[in-house]
C-alpha cells in the first residue's frame, strides 16, 4: 500500500469513527463495537439521585438529610413515615467510606397529618462528631455491619449569614396534566418584577405545553425543578381531607415538599415564600418584596413567620373592556390573570387559608397555612400592606358571587408595562408562540 492510499484509509477510518460517535451522542442507538462504548457512556446524561428512598424492611421513606445547627449539629432526615407502623429506627452516619457509626433516632411525626396514614416526619440523629459526616441512612437494624444500604448526602454543613438569594418561592407538588401555561408564565414574571430570584418546583408530572415553559425557566436559571415521583411509591391523595379524598398521603406530599424546600434553602435564601402555583403574595403599599420586608421587620421586630391572607379572584368574572384579552395569548392554554380583577370579600365564619413568608432559619416544621415549630413570633400582615392574589375557579360554597358582590382590584395592572412584554418574550423563547 503506497503512502497516499494509507493516508486516505486513515482519514476515512477517522471520518467513520467521528460519524458514529456523533450518531450515538444524539440518538439512543447502542454502540456497534466495544471500543465505542466509553464514548456512548459519556454522551448519555447522568441520572440524578432519587428524591424518595425506601427504608428497607419498613413502610417508610427517606427524602433528604441536613445538619441542624440549632440542635447542636444533629442530623435531621426529612422522611415519610407510616404512622401506625412505626418501629425503632437507627441512623448510620459516615465520615469516610469505612468510618460509620450507628445511633438510635427520635422520630418526630408532624401533627398536621389530616388523618392520612403516611405523613412527613423528622428523623433526628444525635451522636458524636456529626459535623464531619458526609452521608447518612436510616435503617431498622441496630447491627449494620453486613448490610448494604442506600445513603443520602448531608446538606447544610455550614452556617451562613450571607445568602445567594433574598427571596425564594417554594411551589409544592405539580401533578396530573396541569397545563395552565399562561397563568404560570404571568406568575413567574410577576414574581421576578417583585424581586424573587429563585423558584423551586416539585414535579411529578404536567402537560406538554407547560413542560416547554418549565424547561425554559430552568435554562434561564430562575427555576429549580426537583423530581418528585411520589406516585411510584404511594397512592397520593389529590386533596387535603382523608375522609373525603382518601389516599396514602396528603395532597401529593405537599407537606413533605414544603419542609424539604425550607431546609434545602435554609442557608441559600434570606426569605422563603410558601404558596401555591396559582397564588401571588403581592405587596400593596410597596413596589417590591424587599421594601415590604424592610417595613415588616421594622414594625414587627422579632417576627419570623409572616402570615398573608388569601383573597379569591374568581375566573368566572372578567374585566368588561377586554383590553387584556390579547390575540398574542389566544392559543396559549391557561388563565389570563389580567382579565380577572374582581376580588371576593373575605369570607365570614369560614376559615380563610393564608400563606406565608418565613425566615427559614427560625422554623423547624411548617404546615401549609402556618408554621408548627418556630422561634420568634407570628406577624399577621395587614390587608392594606400585602395580600395574596389567588386567581382560580370558585369551587367552595359561597364563592359563586355576582360581579356586584365583588370588589375591583387592579393591582396587577400596575405592572403591565413590564409584565406584558416579559410574558410575550418568555412564551416566544420557550417555543409556545411566534
**In the predicted model, is pLDDT for residue 160 greater than 50?**
yes
> Which is more confidently placed, 43 or 292?
292
Chain centroid offset of residue 94 CA: 28
314-326 pLDDT, tens digit each: 999 999 999 999 9
Cα gap 109→85, rounded to integer Å: 12
Candidate from 39-53, 90-104, 135-149 with smallest mean pLDDT: 39-53
Q: Is residue 39 part of a domain?
A: no
What cell numbers appear for 1 in the block? 500500500
Do 329 and 415 lie in a common domain?
Answer: yes
Q: Over range 391-408, report the average pLDDT.
A: 88
Q: Is 191 helix (H, G, I), strand (E, B) or coil?
A: helix
Instruction: State whether 101 and 197 are in the same domain.
Output: no
Q: Which of 104, 135, 155 is the last residue of a domain?
A: 155
CA distance linking residue 413 with residue 431, whole number of Å: 26
**Contact assessment for residue 55 and residue 89, using Cβ atoms and an 8 Å cutoff:** yes
Q: What is the mean pLDDT of residues 66-90?
A: 96
pLDDT at 34 over 50: no
Does one domain contain both 127 and 238? no
Question: Are residues 181 and 325 both part of a single domain?
Answer: yes
Answer yes or no: do 348 and 305 share one domain: yes
Would you state the pLDDT for residue 295? 98
Q: Rounded distance, CA 67 to CA 276, Å?
A: 27
Instruction: Say if residue 80 is in the same domain as residue 176.
Output: no
- Split at pLDDT 50, 70, 90, the class of 44 is very low
What are the backbone dihedrals phi and psi of residue 132, each rounded to the nearest 5 degrees, phi first?
Answer: -95, -5
Does position 259 have pLDDT exceeding 50, yes or no? yes
Task: Clarify whether residues 172 and 144 are in a common domain.
Answer: no
Pick from 211, 302, 202: nearest CA to 252: 202
In a domain, 36, yes or no: no
Written as nine digits, the cell of 81 is: 413515615
User: Can you give the pLDDT at residue 348?
Assistant: 77
Q: Is residue 296 part of a domain?
A: yes
CATH code for the domain in which residue 309 is found: 3.90.550
User: Where are any strands of DSSP class E within 110-195?
Assistant: 118-125, 135-139, 152-155, 165-174
For residue 279, pLDDT beyond 70? yes
- Rounded mean pLDDT of 294-301? 97
**Mean pLDDT of the region 279-302:** 98
Residue at a domain's end among 155, 188, 206: 155
- How would residue 366 be classed by pLDDT, with cut points 50, 70 and 90? very high
Shared domain check, 350 and 323:
yes
Residue 173 in any domain: the answer is yes
Q: Is residue 342 within 8 Å of 48, Cβ to Cβ?
A: no
103: CATH: 2.60.40
Per-residue pLDDT, 247: 95
What is the pLDDT, as a whole number, of residue 355?
97
Let me know how long the chain is. Answer: 434
Mean pLDDT of 75-96: 96
Confidence label for 288 from pLDDT (cuts 50, 70 and 90)? very high
Of 9 and 169, which is predicted with more confidence?
A: 169
Classify the C-alpha dihedral 87-229-76-241 as positive or negative: negative
CB 133 within 8 A of CB 241: no
Which pLDDT value is given to residue 238? 86
Question: Do residues 98 and 186 share a domain?
Answer: no
CB-based burial label for 161 (10 Å; 0-12, 13-18, 19+) = exposed
The domain total for the chain is 2
Residue 180: is its pLDDT beyond 80? yes
The pLDDT value recorded for residue 38 is: 33
262 in the same domain as 351: yes
Asked if 375 and 304 count as a contact pair (C-beta separation under 8 A), the reply is yes
Q: What is the pLDDT of residue 35?
A: 29
Residues of the chain above pLDDT 90, percent? 79
This prediction's pTM: 0.87
Q: How confident is the model at residue 174 (pLDDT cuts 50, 70, 90)?
A: very high
The pLDDT-based confidence of 346 (bands split at 50, 70, 90) is confident
Please classify residue 321 by burial: count the beta carbons closer than 10 Å to its beta carbon, then call 0-12 exposed, 13-18 middle and 19+ buried: exposed
The pLDDT value given to residue 354: 94
The reply to whether 35 falls in a domain is no
Quickly tell me which residue has 380583577 as its cell. Answer: 341
Residue 7 lies in a domain: no
Asked if residue 361 and residue 417 are part of one domain, the reply reads yes
Question: In Å, how far are 31, 188, 211, 420 from 194, measured between CA atoms?
Answer: 50, 10, 24, 15
- Asked, for residue 24, whether it belongs to a domain, the answer is no
- Picking from 155, 182, 210, the residue at the C-terminal end of a domain is 155
Q: Any idea what the Cα angle at residue 284 is, between residues 343 and 170, rounded to 5°?
A: 85
Tell me the pLDDT band of 194, cut-offs 50, 70 and 90.
very high
Same domain, 299 and 405: yes
Residue ranges making up the domain that contains 338: 165-429
CA-based nearest residue to 346, from 311, 381, 294, 388: 311
350 found inside a domain: yes
Q: What is the mean pLDDT of residues 114-119?
A: 95
The radius of gyration computed from the CA coordinates of the chain, to the nearest angstrom, equals: 25
For position 434, what pLDDT does the model report?
87
Amino acid at each position: 500500500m503506497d503512502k497516499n492510499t494509507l493516508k486516505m484509509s486513515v482519514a476515512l477510518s477517522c471520518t467513520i469513527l467521528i460519524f458514529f460517535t456523533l450518531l450515538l451522542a444524539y440518538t439512543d442507538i447502542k454502540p456497534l463495537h466495544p471500543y465505542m462504548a466509553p464514548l456512548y457512556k459519556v454522551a448519555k446524561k447522568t441520572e440524578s439521585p432519587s428524591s424518595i428512598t425506601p427504608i428497607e424492611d419498613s413502610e417508610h421513606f427517606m427524602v433528604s438529610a441536613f445538619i441542624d445547627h440549632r440542635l447542636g449539629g444533629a442530623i435531621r432526615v426529612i422522611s415519610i413515615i407510616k404512622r401506625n407502623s412505626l418501629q425503632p429506627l437507627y441512623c448510620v452516619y459516615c465520615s469516610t467510606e469505612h468510618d460509620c457509626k450507628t445511633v438510635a433516632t427520635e422520630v418526630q411525626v408532624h401533627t398536621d397529618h389530616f388523618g392520612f396514614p403516611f405523613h412527613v416526619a423528622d428523623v433526628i440523629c444525635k451522636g458524636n462528631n456529626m459535623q464531619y459526616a458526609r452521608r447518612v441512612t436510616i435503617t431498622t437494624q441496630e447491627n449494620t455491619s453486613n448490610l448494604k444500604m442506600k445513603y443520602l448526602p448531608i446538606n447544610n454543613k455550614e452556617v451562613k449569614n450571607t445568602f445567594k438569594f433574598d427571596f425564594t418561592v417554594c411551589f409544592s407538588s405539580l401533578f396530573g396534566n396541569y397545563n395552565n401555561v399562561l397563568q404560570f408564565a404571568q406568575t413567574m414574571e410577576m414574581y421576578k418584577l417583585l424581586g424573587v430570584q429563585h423558584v423551586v418546583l416539585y414535579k411529578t408530572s404536567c402537560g406538554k405545553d407547560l413542560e416547554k415553559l418549565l424547561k425554559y425557566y430552568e435554562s434561564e436559571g430562575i427555576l429549580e425543578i426537583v423530581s418528585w415521583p411520589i406516585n411510584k411509591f404511594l397512592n397520593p391523595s389529590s386533596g387535603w381531607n382523608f375522609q373525603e379524598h382518601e389516599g396514602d398521603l396528603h395532597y401529593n406530599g405537599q407537606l413533605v415538599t414544603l419542609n424539604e424546600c425550607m431546609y434545602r434553602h435554609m442557608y441559600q435564601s434570606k426569605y422563603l415564600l410558601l404558596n401555591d402555583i396559582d397564588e401571588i403574595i403581592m405587596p400593596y403599599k410597596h413596589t417590591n418584596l424587599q421594601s415590604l420586608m424592610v417595613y415588616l421587620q421594622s414594625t414587627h421586630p422579632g417576627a419570623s413567620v409572616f402570615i398573608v391572607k388569601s383573597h379569591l379572584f374568581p375566573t368566572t368574572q372578567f374585566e368588561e373592556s377586554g383590553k387584556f384579552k390579547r390575540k398574542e395569548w389566544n392559543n396559549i392554554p391557561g388563565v389570563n390573570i389580567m382579565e380577572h380583577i374582581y376580588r371576593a370579600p373575605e369570607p365570614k365564619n369560614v376559615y380563610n387559608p393564608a400563606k406565608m413568608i418565613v425566615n427559614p432559619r427560625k422554623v423547624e416544621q411548617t404546615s401549609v397555612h402556618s408554621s408548627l415549630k418556630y422561634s420568634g413570633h407570628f406577624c399577621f400582615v395587614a390587608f392594606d400592606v400585602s395580600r395574596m392574589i389567588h386567581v382560580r375557579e370558585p369551587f367552595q360554597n359561597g364563592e359563586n358571587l355576582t360581579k356586584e358582590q365583588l370588589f375591583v382590584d387592579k393591582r396587577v395592572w400596575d405592572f403591565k408595562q413590564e409584565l406584558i412584554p416579559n410574558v410575550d418574550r418568555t412564551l416566544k423563547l420557550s417555543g409556545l408562540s411566534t
